[in-house]
Chains A and B, each alone.
Chain A
């Protein structure tokens, strides 16, 4: 079992040359670490912590000031999928991984499956902290197990509806509260010369957020084997819904995060965006000319009267196998993600939206936001955060899955094939990826 996992890890390491994997397997790896005990070291400790959040040094500096016996050294790099995750895997293989690292929720299962993470459930403080976090964020780090914890939740991305209140009002269109109304509004918006939203063919995470809201489950793990279900009933409903909007030219299909995309929002061509809490910052900087014209409402529902929200993004702080200081690492990770001073600092420097219930009540998150016409928009997101389904699980090969699905989505946005076909292809490709990495798949 262990050797197959190592082989899988080695296979993952092949960035460019297959021959390399041979060398990699020979390198010294960290100890198993599953039964690590959570005891204080009893001496001064220096921890290494890798994160790509700009300005996280400020929060860490506060910690270092107050805890001379547990010093934390910040290391940095590009965002997870842009290289830092690969670096983590390389470091795990070489036996010099940092003590702590930033890992987004959708990547946690991958590290877990590759045996890269320490179970923090050994630390009493960690288990006791569960109540401080929103249920669903805690669910993201336990990976569906009991008393096993593979990271401390840091931030979250509950989804809501950003909309141009001025345009909706001028054209006498009601702000939709259900997806059915959303489609009706889309027709009216089209008649008024705009698009109700942009369907992003590259952000599968957004689509996953829609499926999450609809109650779909892409992955399940029974402790051993993985079930893959990208084409379940809810996913199909969501895919068909957006397929219909695309086919009837009711949504634009600019590639997300590009200049055209920013411009579409800035020029008022596109009227709404179903996005996560951090999207507030994206609109603000991408569409500065529309200042004061935006508002935020809870996401449209599948059934009138439902109270469900999806989630897009969010990350955790995990402890890597090979650390000698589990106790101290856990203590720091808890402080970073629960203490008011750290959360305030993270929110100031990087708009990190906390994963704790207390964090959602930070004074800075209660203020009105000028760009949104003075609306205290974070109240909406705080409400959405409590409506996220706690049972959504990510698979262990998400990068691969995103890539596979996104190819099909791009084609569908151009009118070749459908979103559902893309999901079907993603389903097949994901299962073969899992099998290729010797990860058991349940049929």
Chain B
């Protein structure tokens, strides 16, 4: 429901823009040849196919029962049993899959909101306040962008073991609310989009720094915040190594880890195969919804950045 409304809300803007761009190209840019154009479409077409085929396969596979999965064309429908499969998945072991899905939403949703807030405050402070060690601090944060989350998982495990927080919600949540890239993006964006004059005006009107941030600056930074949120949401949703190392109790698993655990035992317990397939398909739905809901803001954000 929400998806369709957003789609229609977004599409007019998109097509208008595309039209505008086309006029520009005809008016000012060099004329496109037919052959490069065809070649470009061909390359794009091939890659689209390349990226969409696995998803198509997944979609088809989740509509089949176990027998048809191997004996029928892998890229076309056989007996349509999608809803039976979903029903079986949801019913399996008292709906543990739904629990995982909710966990993922909690880790990724709440985690990304908090991460965005922290990152934007930090980036804003680095952009708008002068204090000793500012650049050093920024460079340290920037260095954090270079450290892959996977490399940090094990030290984090040993650290969390010391304070007895492994196998808790916090073990996955706390590391997720840190986003060095978000700080970087927020700083760049705050520098570009929040004028110093506006801050001075706000101060003259008697607003404190916190109030200024939350009522004035945060609105100007909104497109950047959406981008940070989206990046963080996706990376927490897809984060797999950290939960693998931290979590032992099934009821805390995010959906990625849960599916991995099932998948690892398929050789021994082949009946899990259908659950893994259907579960994987369902697990990308929230990501798609989030993207569709936020893409309007996201696009504006990128565009604004590019013009400055």
Are both chains from one complex? yes
Binding site for B on A (CB under 8 A): 13, 15-17, 20, 23-24, 27-28, 48, 50, 52-55, 75-79, 82-83, 87, 90-91, 93-96, 98, 257, 259, 262-263, 266-267, 278, 281-282, 284-289, 350-351
* Residue of A27, A263, A285 most packed against chain B (CB within 10 A): A285
Name the A residues within 8 Å of B14 (CB-CB): none
B28 part of interface (Cβ distance < 8 Å):
no
Q: A15-B154, A17-B151, A285-B66 are in contact. Are A54 and B93 (CB under 8 A)?
A: yes
B161's partner among A27, A53, A55, A257 (CB-CB below 8 A) is A27
**B195 close to chain A: CB less than 8 A:** no
Q: A11 vs B138: C-alpha distance in the bound complex, in angstroms?
A: 34
Given A52-B265, A282-B270, A350-B269: A98 touches B248 (CB 8 Å cut-off): yes
Would you call B78 an interface residue if the criterion is a C-beta within 8 Å of the partner chain's C-beta atoms? no
Interface string of B60-104 (1 = CB under 8 A from A): 000000110111001000000000000000000100000000000
> Closest residue of chain B to A285, judged by CB?
B270
Q: Can you name 9 A-B pairs with beta carbons within 8 Å?
A: A15-B154, A16-B151, A16-B154, A20-B151, A23-B158, A76-B261, A87-B245, A96-B164, A259-B70
Known: A13-B154, A83-B244, A282-B270. A78 touches B261 (CB 8 A): yes
Bound-state CA distance A163–B188 (Å) is 67
Residues of B within 8 Å of A23, CB to CB, are: 155, 158
Chain B positions within 8 Å of A278 at CB level = 268
Contact between B250 and A79, CB atoms less than 8 A apart? no
> Total contacts A to B, CB within 8 angstroms?
117
In the assembled complex, the CB of A79 is this many whole angstroms from the nearest CB of chain B, namely 4
Tell me the bound Cα distance from A287 to B261 in angstroms: 24
Residues on B with C-beta less than 8 A from A28 are 162
Q: Is B273 an interface residue (CB 8 A)?
A: yes
Q: How far is the CA of A98 from the CA of B164 in the complex (A)?
A: 13
Report the count of interface residues on B (CB-CB < 8 A). Answer: 40
Mask, B255-291, CB within 8 Å of A = 1, is: 0000011111111111111000000000000000000
Min CB gap B281→A, angstroms: 17
CA–CA, A412 and B286, complex, Å? 44
Given A24-B158, A91-B161, A287-B70, 20 further pairs, Cβ under 8 A = A15-B153, A17-B155, A20-B151, A24-B154, A27-B161, A50-B248, A75-B248, A75-B250, A76-B250, A76-B261, A77-B247, A78-B261, A78-B264, A79-B265, A90-B157, A259-B70, A263-B71, A285-B271, A288-B70, A289-B67
Report which of B74, B162, B249, B269 forms a contact with A75, defined as CB distance below 8 A.
B249
Identify which of B164, B167, B244, B249 contacts A78 (C-beta below 8 A).
Answer: B244
Chain A residue nearest to B251 in the complex (CB): A76
User: Which of B155, B244, B264 is within 8 Å of A79, CB to CB?
Assistant: B264
From residue A21, how far is it (CB to closest CB) to chain B in Å? 9
With A17-B154, A27-B162 as contacts: A77 and B261 at CB distance below 8 Å: yes
Q: Determine the distance from Cα of A282 to Cα of B267 in the docked complex, in whole angstroms.
A: 7
Q: Does B166 contact A (CB under 8 A)?
A: yes
**Given the complex of chains A and B, what is the CA–CA distance between A16 and B152 in angstroms?**
9
Name the B residues within 8 Å of A79 (CB-CB): 261, 264-265, 268
Q: Taking the nearest CB of chain A, how far is it from the CB of B6, in angstroms?
A: 36
- Closest residue of chain B to A283 (Cβ to Cβ) is B270
Interface: B23 (CB within 8 A): no
Does B71 lie within 8 Å of A78, measured CB to CB? no
Chain A residues within an 8 Å CB radius of B249: 75-76
Identity of the chain A residue whose Cβ is nearest the Cβ of B271 in the assembled complex: A285
CA–CA, A20 and B151, complex, Å:
9
The answer on a CB contact under 8 Å between A27 and B158 is yes
Binary interface encoding of chain B residues 228-249 relative to chain A, with 1 for a CB under 8 A from any of its CBs, else 0: 0000000000000000110111
With both beta carbons as reference points, the residue of chain B lying nearest to A282 in the complex is identified as: B270
Q: Which residues of chain A are within 8 angstroms of B247 by Cβ–Cβ distance? A: 77
Given known A286-B70, A286-B270, contact A90–B265 (CB-CB < 8 A): no
Q: Nearest A residue to B68 by beta-carbon distance?
A: A288
- B11 interface residue, CB < 8 Å from A? no
B261 touches A96 (CB 8 A): no
Docked-complex contact B67 and A93, CB < 8 angstroms: no
